[in-house]
Amino acid sequence: MKRALLFFALTLAFVMAANAQGVGVGATVDNFSLPDTNGKTQTLNDMKGKNGAVLIFVSAQCPVVRGYNERMNEIALAYKAKGINVIGVNSNATETLAEVKSHAETTYKFPVLIDKGNVLADKLGASVTPEAYYVDANDVLLYHGAIDNDRSGKNITEQFLRTAFDASLNGKPVTKKSANAFGCTIKRTGDQ
**pLDDT recorded at residue 46:** 95
Distance CA 114, CA 112 (A): 7
Separation CA 100–CA 37 (nearest Å): 7
Q: Domain 25-185 belongs to what architecture? A: 3-Layer(aba) Sandwich (3.40)
Cα–Cα distance between 162 and 115 in angstroms, integer?
25
CA distances 161 to 4, 20, 54, 74, 166, Å, are 46, 25, 9, 12, 9
How confident is the model at residue 3, as a pLDDT? 47
CA distance 124 to 55: 10
Contact 161, 177 (CB under 8 A): no
For every residue of 16-32, DSSP letters joined together read HHHH-----TTSBPPP-
Check residue 19 and give its pLDDT: 31
| Region for residue 124 given its phi and psi (left: phi exceeds 0; alpha: psi -120 to 50; beta: otherwise) | alpha
C-alpha 59/C-alpha 64 separation (Å) is: 9
The per-residue DSSP string of 107-138 comes to: H-SS-EEE-GGGHHHHHHT--EESEEEEE-TT
The amino acid at residue 92 is N
Burial category of 82 from C-beta neighbours within 10 Å (exposed 0-12, middle 13-18, buried 19 and up): middle
Name the pTM for this structure: 0.86
Tell me the domain boundaries of the chain: 25-185
Residue type for position 149:
N
pLDDT value for 108 = 96
Residue 55: C-alpha distances to residues 7, 82, 124, 178 (Å): 39, 16, 10, 14
- What confidence score (pLDDT) does residue 14 get? 33
pLDDT tens track, the chain, 192 positions: 444 333 333 333 333 333 345 888 878 899 999 999 999 999 999 999 999 999 999 999 999 999 999 999 999 999 999 999 999 999 999 999 999 999 999 999 999 999 999 999 999 999 999 999 999 999 999 999 999 999 888 899 999 999 999 999 999 999 999 999 999 999 987 654
As a whole number of angstroms, the longest Cα–Cα distance in the chain is 63
